[in-house]
């Protein structure tokens, strides 16, 4: 996209740029950031930075968003949607200038409909805040990324986020029933409804996970889930990683689907324990954090069955949380894992691949070999139940050679996921991190069809350019920063 020279070079004057002036005219001066020192704060997300936006705007309603889109079209500049900036694939960073639309002020819960188990929210609502709002009524919002205390539901929709407790219930797309979205011409469309099925094409499903490349989502209708009658949390402790991975496959082979089934290797859990004091055994090679929920009798039976399976696969100990406080402490360790790991290295690069869970032993062996090949320390923490891996590659970004090795190792790991019949992302999205790896899992015809579909909604590529689909530029151009978590 050709940008006006005054915009593409970035203005350093003490006056707003023409684009910022137009934005101020439609949403007010208090809703626009245009000074360099303000704009630079929106250069980053949880993965990387490229450049500062030309302006940042804070709409408070759908009508504001429509006016912002009209300004972007009249000035021929891109629009990049942004939630909390916790994303891990560069989805909210600016690649070629433009307007960042921050939804931080669109954070109203517009409707809670407990009888029909539904809620309607603006995109800036923080994930955990929705669950807290309906907790007293006995409900919650299932998708629970590790960043759920900060990440927004709009960002979850963009990336189709998951989390530890989506093994049994599915990721974001399984809990979104309808959307309101502003298109490139300023038109407002509404997809889906409170009911499960409506005639016609599933546009809601198409938009969820599109990473802001189709339009700007301004309202979201979600499904609420009743809290379970009973919950049991188990920590299975192993002296060998191999036995822990075999246990994962054995649990699902037995017809048991836990609400969560997480795995951490010894290196990772030791770092977590040092930081959070969650009660993890520091002398073990791996642990499985397993949770089952449902009716009280069924939960007891499943917990007993899981313990038998764990011990059959040489778990040296299986602990059960004896109180809500113990359960919360175990999960606090897992949820704060990525922050804890940030204490042991200047930088780390967290990956997000998916493989069939039966191939976990093989994949962990491969990851270890990749680390040895490149001289890298790699820790492993992942959603083992659905084969969603999160290897963490530790390095110092100030060392160009280390950065090069990390990028090469990450590409090898993602290629191996593809070869195993998996995916290059399970929940973090593609963004600018993995768009050049898309040909690993999609044919040229597949990608061409995706481009054609995108062009229907986003002609000219005004929304979030350079994301998701390959551009011909290599991922090595990323400036990797300290990682976040899933």
CA distance 258 to 232: 10
Q: What tens digit of pLDDT does each residue of 222-281 get?
A: 999 999 999 999 999 999 999 999 999 999 999 999 999 999 999 999 999 999 999 999
Nearest alpha-carbon partner for 30 in 62, 56, 63: 56
Strands 109-113 and 139-140, by their bridges, are: unpaired
Residue 95 is part of a domain; what is its CATH number? 3.30.43.10
Last residue of a domain, one of 226, 258, 289: 226
Single pTM value for the model: 0.92
350 and 460 fall within a common domain: yes
Average pLDDT, the chain: 92
Checking if the pLDDT of 333 tops 80, the result is yes
Rg, C-alpha atoms of the chain: 23
180 and 196 fall within a common domain: yes
Checking if the pLDDT of 120 tops 90, the result is yes
Q: How confident is the model at residue 338 (pLDDT cuts 50, 70, 90)?
A: confident
In a domain, 336, yes or no: no
Structure tokens at 210: 């599109």
In a domain, 486, yes or no: no
235 and 323 fall within a common domain: yes
Last residue of a domain, one of 102, 136, 162: 102
Strands 286-294 and 216-223, by their bridges, are: unpaired
Phi, psi dihedrals of residue 449, rounded to the nearest 5°: -65, -40
Task: Report how many domains make up the chain.
Answer: 4
pLDDT score for 3: 37
222 and 249 fall within a common domain: no
Mean pLDDT along residues 374-378: 97
Q: How confident is the model at residue 473 (pLDDT cuts 50, 70, 90)?
A: low
Q: How confident is the model at residue 166 (pLDDT cuts 50, 70, 90)?
A: confident
Strand partners for 112: 119
First to last CA, the chain: 33
Strands 260-265 and 353-354, by their bridges, are: unpaired
Checking if the pLDDT of 480 tops 70, the result is no
pLDDT score for 49: 74
**Contacts with 441 (C-beta within 8 Å, 6 or more apart), sequence order:** 418, 423, 424
Checking if the pLDDT of 452 tops 50, the result is yes
Last residue of a domain, one of 102, 126, 148: 102
Judged on CB neighbours under 10 Å (0-12, 13-18, 19+), 413 is buried
pLDDT score for 12: 52
Nearest alpha-carbon partner for 439 in 478, 480, 468: 468
91 and 121 fall within a common domain: no
Instruction: Give percent of the chain with pLDDT exceeding 90.
Output: 87
185 and 313 fall within a common domain: no
Q: What tens digit of pLDDT does each residue of 276-296 get?
A: 999 999 999 999 999 999 999
């Amino acid at each position: 996209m050709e940008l006006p020279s005054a915009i593409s070079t970035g203005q350093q004057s003490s006056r707003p740029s023409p684009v910022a002036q137009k934005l101020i005219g439609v949403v007010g001066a208090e809703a626009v950031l245009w000074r360099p020192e303000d704009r630079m704060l929106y250069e980053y997300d949880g993965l990387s930075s490229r450049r500062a936006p030309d302006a940042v705007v804070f709409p408070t309603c759908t009508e504001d968003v429509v006016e912002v889109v009209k300004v972007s079209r009249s000035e021929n500049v891109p629009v990049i949607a942004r939630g909390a900036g916790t994303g891990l694939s560069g989805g909210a960073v600016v690649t070629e200038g433009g307007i960042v639309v921050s939804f931080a002020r669109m954070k109203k819960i517009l409707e809670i409909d407990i009888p029909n188990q539904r809620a309607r929210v603006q995109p800036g609502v923080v994930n955990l805040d929705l669950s807290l709002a309906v907790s007293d009524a006995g409900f919650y919002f299932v998708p629970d990324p590790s960043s759920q205390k900060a990440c927004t539901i709009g960002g979850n929709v963009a990336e189709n986020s998951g989390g530890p407790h989506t093994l049994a219930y599915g990721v974001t797309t399984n809990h979104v029933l309808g959307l309101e979205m502003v298109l490139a011409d300023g038109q407002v469309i509404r997809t889906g409804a409170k009911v499960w099925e409506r005639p016609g094409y599933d546009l809601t499903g198409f938009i969820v996970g599109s990473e802001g490349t189709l339009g700007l989502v301004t309202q979201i209708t979600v499904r609420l889930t009743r809290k379970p009658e009973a919950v049991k949390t188990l920590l299975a402790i192993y002296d060998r990683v191999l036995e822990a991975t075999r246990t994962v496959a054995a649990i699902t082979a037995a017809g048991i689907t836990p609400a969560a089934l997480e795995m951490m290797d010894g290196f990772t859990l030791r770092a977590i324990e040092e930081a959070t004091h969650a009660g993890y055994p520091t002398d073990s090679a791996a642990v499985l954090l397993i949770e089952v929920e449902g009716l009280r009798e069924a939960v007891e039976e499943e917990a007993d069955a899981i313990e038998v399976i764990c011990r059959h696969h040489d778990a040296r100990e299986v602990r059960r949380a004896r109180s809500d406080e113990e359960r919360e402490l175990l999960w606090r360790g897992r949820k704060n894992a990525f922050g804890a790991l940030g204490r042991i290295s200047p930088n780390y690069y967290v990956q997000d691949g998916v493989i069939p869970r039966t191939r976990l032993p093989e994949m962990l062996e491969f990851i270890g070999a990749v680390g040895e090949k490149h001289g890298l320390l790699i820790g492993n923490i992942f959603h083992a139940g659905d084969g969603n891996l999160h290897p963490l590659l530790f390095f110092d970004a100030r060392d160009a050679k280390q950065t090069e090795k990390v990028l090469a190792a990450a590409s090898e790991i993602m290629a191996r996921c593809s070869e195993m019949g998996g995916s290059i992302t399970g929940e973090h999205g593609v963004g600018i991190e993995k768009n050049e790896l898309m040909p690993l899992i999609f044919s040229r015809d597949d990608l061409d069809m995706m481009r054609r579909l995108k062009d229907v909604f986003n002609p000219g590529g005004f929304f979030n350019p350079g994301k998701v689909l390959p551009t011909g530029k290599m991922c090595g151009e990323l400036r990797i920063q300290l990682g976040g978590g899933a």
